[in-house]
A and B are shown apart, each in its own frame.
Chain A
Amino acid sequence: MSEIATYNFAYLDEQTKRMIRRAILKGIAIPGYQVPFASREMPMPYGWGTGGVQVTAAIIGPDDVLKVIDQGADDTTNAVSIRAFFRKVADVAVTTETAKATIIQTRHRIPEHPLTAGQTLVYQVPIPEPLRFLEPRETETRKMHALEEYGLMHVKLYEDIARHGRIATTYAYPVKVEGRYVMDPSPTPKFDNPKMHMSPALQLFGAGREKRIYAVPPFTRVVSLDFEDHPFEIQTFDQPCALCGAEQVYLDEVILDDKGGHMFVCSDTDHCEKRQACGHRGHLAPAALEPAQ
């Protein structure tokens, strides 16, 4: 503890936590609405999850167990450094196991293991405004949300169909929350959109640079926008995970050599490791896991 004596618990000062906590409560009360908040400078650059970190810092307590993932992986730079940050400033228990975590901070994936009541998923969001690339003026997008005027978003999806024959948006696929607000689910692959619908877990979204917090309470309707003749579809993969053989999961392509060799593996490392430990094998998996040295 002596290391952190100069910092308040969870890094933020209490006034900042109160301000963020008030924004979180409003976000929960108005699902999908982006609540402005006075985002602070954090000891990491914008774009590295400052919004998610502030939300996590405002809700975390000494009894929490934190998991941090970056594109589904527990062992990539962003995940490792944020996990280390909270170990240092809040002295909390950390885990890589989805089922054991009470708070999961995520950058762009929802874990494959189903979430449960009592868990909170904290998303790091780069651009919270789903209409931003269609209308750059905040005053206008705010009015569009106020008037529930989302025609422009449907035009965008329609233009996809006109150009590509299908809706070409594959990530940050817009959703409508509880039949009212159109929301950016953060740049998660659209594969994960159905997991947001009626999830038993609370979902909080923090955008540090853009200074917005929003939320989806548990058991809330989250519907991906589509058309009757072009219904929403998630990505499918024509082969299982090369390491654990999992199907119906989101896969990452890994390049193996400079001769076009590649393999598809689970993006959720915890899920993949758990399956391998249970004896599931993909076609490129080592025959037997080497015993730890």
Chain B
Amino acid sequence: MDQMDVIDGGFSAPVFNAQTVFRAVMDAMARPGTVQQLAELAQPPAPLAATAGAVALTLCDHDTPLWLDAGLQVSAAKSWLAFHTGAPSAATPADAHFALVANPANLISLENFAQGTQEYPDRSTTLILQVESLTQGTSLRLEGPGIETSATIAPTSLPRHFVEQWKQNGARFPRGVDLILAAPDGVACLPRTTRIKTTEA
């Protein structure tokens, strides 16, 4: 592992870059289905991509146990995240405040992550899924708060049986996980309130 990989590639202007990324994520969370454009602000080592890395730098710190998927766990990205955010690693997915997923197609099921409690539904995991695109996958029609009538995104790749898993996640409301989809050109979010409208073929 090259030492410089681990140290280089953080935000060049930490205060303003973090604000830019946060506003994109906030707008995406408030308007599910919209893609908020984001320039490349961080250069993390592979397999962590620029957008997912920037979101992690913006939201994670020593207060937020971070869970990494198998690919990230054995990569230089783990040290990069530790150096730049100081986030402790979560022993289990149920302990994670954030989960960073480089390969969503192989992700363990969403119910393994912290769901929050009925009293404190905010104590749940926010998953940052690194996707290749938000327009090239299977179209998902979305409804719920933040969406005037309906919205569509088409991310690729998503976890297995995603539509069914998301339905179960919604049924746990107010408990449940929220997703930040980080694509090369921007972010989109699926808060737990968003419903995927399944159209019968």
Contacting pair A21 B122 (CB below 8 A): no
Name the segment of A46-54, A73-81, A215-223 touching the other chain: A215-223
Q: Does A219 contact B174, Cβ atoms closer than 8 Å?
A: no
B137 CB–A CB distance under 8 Å = no
Contact of A40 with B by CB under 8 A: no
Minimum C-beta distance from B197 to chain A (A): 15
- A62 to B17 CA separation, bound complex (whole angstroms): 11
Q: Interface residue tally of chain A, by bracket? A: 35 or more
Whether B146 contacts A25 by the Cβ 8 Å rule is no
A residues less than 8 Å from B15 (CB atoms): 8-9, 14
Q: Given A142-B119, A143-B119: A218 and B31 within 8 A (CB)?
A: yes
Most buried by A among B31, B97, B147: B31
Asked if A134 is at the interface (CB within 8 A of a chain B CB), the reply is no
Counting CB contacts under 8 A, is A35 at the interface? yes
- Are A61 and B16 closer than 8 Å at their CB atoms? yes
The answer for the CA separation of A35 and B145 in the assembled complex, in Å, is: 18
CA distance A21 to B18 in the complex (A): 10
**Contact indicator B23/A35 (Cβ below 8 Å):** no
Most chain B CB within 10 A, of A22, A59, A61, A220, is at: A22
Q: Does A29 contact B (CB under 8 A)?
A: yes
What A residues does B191 contact at CB under 8 A? 28-30, 217
Stretch at the interface among B40-48, B55-63, B65-73, B107-115: B55-63
Provided the pairs A18-B61, A180-B174, A220-B146 are in contact, do residues A29 and B18 lie with their beta carbons within 8 angstroms? no
Is B119 within 8 A of A146, CB to CB? yes
In contact, B23 and A217 (Cβ under 8 angstroms):
no
Q: Is the CB of A219 within 8 A of B26?
A: no
Across the interface, A178 reaches (CB within 8 A) one of B27, B63, B64, B145, namely: B145
**Interface members, chain B 111-164 (any A CB < 8 Å):** 117-122, 124, 126, 145-148
Of B23, B119, B121, B124, the contact of A59 (CB 8 Å cutoff): B23
Given A21-B58, A23-B122, A218-B146, residue A29 in contact with residue B29 (CB < 8 A):
yes
Closest Cβ of chain A: how far from B20's Cβ, in Å?
7
Cβ of A200 to closest chain B Cβ, rounded Å? 8
CB neighbours (8 Å) of A221 from chain B are: 145
A180→B31 CA distance, assembly (Å): 19
A-B contact pairs, 30 of them (CB 8 A): A9-B15, A17-B18, A17-B22, A18-B18, A19-B63, A21-B58, A24-B26, A25-B59, A26-B178, A28-B146, A29-B192, A29-B193, A30-B174, A30-B193, A31-B145, A33-B122, A35-B122, A58-B22, A62-B16, A117-B31, A142-B120, A146-B118, A146-B119, A180-B174, A198-B148, A215-B30, A217-B29, A217-B191, A219-B145, A220-B146
Given contacts A14-B14, A200-B148, 9 further A-B contacts (CB under 8 A): A8-B15, A15-B63, A19-B63, A23-B122, A25-B29, A26-B124, A33-B121, A181-B174, A217-B30
- Across the A-B interface, the 10 shortest Cβ-Cβ residue pairs: A29-B191, A146-B118, A217-B146, A26-B122, A220-B145, A29-B178, A61-B19, A217-B145, A146-B119, A202-B30
